[in-house]
Amino acid sequence: MSVVTLEGIVEKGQIRLKSKLHLPDKTKVYVIVPDFDEEKYARIYSPRLANSEQAIDFKMEITAEPSNASL
């Protein structure tokens, strides 16, 4: 296995190589990030039901409103 080292930067969540080298789709790559300090973010999870059988309690009911002819 041969190894080539390329430098790049992350822009809008994608790695952009500084060289004009084109890597074909599905090329296996390894990413090493030097001197990276991960910022801690608060993560808010969506509420979940403890029992999936309770989902029927939240079933949406649609009722037809009588039309108001005077409007």
Residue 15, judged by CB atoms within 10 A of its CB (0-12, 13-18, 19+), counts as: exposed
Separation of alpha carbons 27 and 23, rounded Å:
7
pLDDT for the residue numbered 25? 92
pLDDT digits (tens, 9 = 90+) for 25-58: 998 888 888 887 777 777 788 888 888 888 888 8
- Give yes or no for residue 5 having a pLDDT over 80: yes
